[in-house]
Structure 1
Amino acid sequence: MLEAKLSEAGLLKRLLDAVKELISDANFDCNEEGITLQAMDNSHVALVAVKLEAAGFKRYRCDRPIPLGVNVASLTKVVKCAKDDDITTLKAADDADVLTLTYEGKNSDRIAEYEMKLMDIDADTLGIPDTEYDASVTMPSAEFARIVRDLSNLGESVKIEVSKEGIRFVTDGESANGNILIKQSAEAPSKKKGSSSKRKDDDDDEPEDEEGASGDEVDDGEGGKKKIKKEKVKKEENGDSDVEMNGEDEDEDAGEFKPSKKEKGSDDEDEDEDEDSGSSKKRKKAPGKSGKPAKKAKKDAESDDDDDDFDGVRIEMNQAVTLTFSLKYLVNFSKSSALSKKVQLMMSNDVPLLVSYGFNQGHIRYYLAPKIGDD
């Protein structure tokens, strides 16, 4: 038996809207780890892979692997009957031919139940090999959507070039051409941090002067108390500088895509730093603690904050890559920007492009074969 409860129906709506124009019928494969979908478009040019992890559901139970064959257009119509904030429950018995969807309103006693007929779909799950890509580009999903939408008005294909200069999108149409260059902006966060640290230094100077002045006035009477208070202020300032140092180190690596499970370890390390006495020791340890565990832990624990602050492009490249793709498919892929504020493009010469959107409960990935011999 399958029972999967989502806290909001909006996620399912956005997910179906992103794939409904690429695939018509598909199997939602359910097992104890979660729900996955893998399907190719009719022309076998693009592959869609979706994963909803079991941990992201409000309640999840799957006694044995169950394939749910659905018509994506029909499922989309049923899901649109729910409000975005409705609690949604998917139920299916073993060997069932019906999928039950229940919508519960959060602020009312309204409960709606729908049944949808399932289909028998013969589709083999393709094994997607692990590939080491030559270039990885992380950029705002809204910017990517705008670029491919604008260029699709000019031509049918786009040439994507990744180099040290940045990522360039070029299209040659019958009546007009387009050339868009997006440069890497990894230095932007550090500049913001630098300006904020200057403000903190200015603020820190003021309390020290005030404290020193007040200490001189009552030096004979309450000098001991004032000295203790001044030491506390200095410790707090040192604590702030340590937090500032950690923030800079972590922001430099915010572009890593894979989450890490080392979050607890990084928290323990931060607590050890707080127990150290000497501010100079803390300043030396902070860069050392900014290794992979601390950086990846921030990515895992504060992914939402990273999404909110992320407004630039990060490029990791082993060698320059130039490939040409159909804009029609990229426009369809870009509809997943409703699921995530970031998109990652993974490219290697003569290898399908990987367009990946990660969200709280899982991911949606698209694979697109490049055009060959298209000048």
Structure 2
Amino acid sequence: MKCHRYIFMMMKLESMSKLLKCAGKNDIITIKADGGSDTVTFMFESSTQDKIADFELKLKLMGIVSVHICIPVPEYHSIVRMPSGEFSRICKDLGSIGDTVVISVMTKERVRFSTESDIGTASIALRQNTNVDKPEDAIVIEMNEPVSLSFGLRYMNLFTKATPLSETVTIRLSSELPVMVEYKVAPMGYIRYYLARKMEEKEDTKP
């Protein structure tokens, strides 16, 4: 199934979560919506195709909008693609030391993840590596401008819950935009998380 135009749906997460719990472990989920309707249909089909369940979720209170628009792709200063499992381990390990991760791309050859707190510091550096047997094991760094940005580890660790869905993760960084953490779910599409960087609580005002 394809969507030939952008359709924006606003649903209550609580209601959507209840519906998704009705799906079996190996079910195929199809979401259908019409721009002129006030409902969205969730179809759960078993892997053996011997059971199909349809659920309709009303959107009267939240609304549905069908428009023809073009969403511009922002330009990021640095992009890092790496194994999703490695990114998950890094976030988990740094979370045992601090609550903020600093992601730094100062050269095209290396990305650094670091944290510090009252109990100590930790730093993990990865070098670009494309000489691998499997493409999903590669570490690819693209740098247009150097960046060093801070983010809440609590949220990064929540993002890594998508690790089982994709073997790779792409981290797009810009000092002017929220970080984009993307997991490609081939061949269906992708999951993208956005997180604003943490600002310094105190700025040095000394002359």
So what's the TM-score if we normalise by structure 1? 0.46
Q: How does 1:1-375 map to 2 (within 5 A)?
A: 32-33=4-5, 67-92=8-33, 95-107=36-48, 109-121=50-62, 129-164=72-107, 165-186=109-130, 188-189=131-132, 309-359=135-185, 360-374=187-201
- How many Å apart are 1:325 and its aligned residue? 1.2
Give the whole-Å Cα distance in 2 for the aligned partners of 1:102 and 1:345.
32
Letter in 2 for 1:370: R
- 1:345–1:355 Cα contact (<8 Å) kept: yes
SS at match of 1:310: helix
Q: Kindly tell me: are residues 153 and 128 of structure 1, through their superposed partners in 2, closer, same or farther at Cα, counting changes over 3 Å?
A: farther
- 1:103–1:111 Cα contact (<8 Å) kept: yes
- 2:10–2:63 Cα contact (<8 Å) kept: no
- 2:41–2:55 Cα contact (<8 Å) kept: yes
So what's the TM-score if we normalise by structure 2? 0.77
* Unmatched 5+ stretches in structure 1: 6-30, 35-64, 193-307
- How many Å apart are 1:128 and its aligned residue? 6.2
Comparing 324-333 and 358-367, the one that deviates more? 358-367
- 1:138–1:314 Cα contact (<8 Å) kept: yes
Q: Kindly tell me: are residues 109 and 152 of structure 1, through their superposed partners in 2, closer, same or farther at Cα, counting changes over 3 Å?
A: same
Give the whole-Å Cα distance in 2 for the aligned partners of 1:372 and 1:128.
27
Q: Kindly, what percent of the aligned residue pairs are identical?
A: 36
SS at match of 1:373: coil
Residue deviations 1:188-238 (CA, integer Å, cap 9, x gap):
23xx6xxxxxxxxxxxxxxxxxxxxxxxxxxxxxxxxxxxxxxxxxxxxxx
Structure with more contact order per residue of length (Cα contacts < 8 Å, sep ≥ 6): 1
Letter in 1 for 2:199: I
Give the whole-Å Cα distance in 1 for the aligned partners of 2:189 and 2:30.
18
- How many Å apart are 1:144 and its aligned residue? 0.8
**Which has the greater radius of gyration?**
1
Residue deviations 1:349-370 (CA, integer Å, cap 9, x gap):
3432222222222222222222
SS at match of 1:371: coil
Q: Kindly tell me: are residues 109 and 132 of structure 1, through their superposed partners in 2, closer, same or farther at Cα, counting changes over 3 Å?
A: closer
Could you tell me which residue of structure 1 aligns to residue 205 of structure 2?
A: none
Q: Which has the higher helix share?
A: 1
SS at match of 1:138: strand
Letter in 2 for 1:168: R
Give the whole-Å Cα distance in 2 for the aligned partners of 1:351 and 1:363.
20
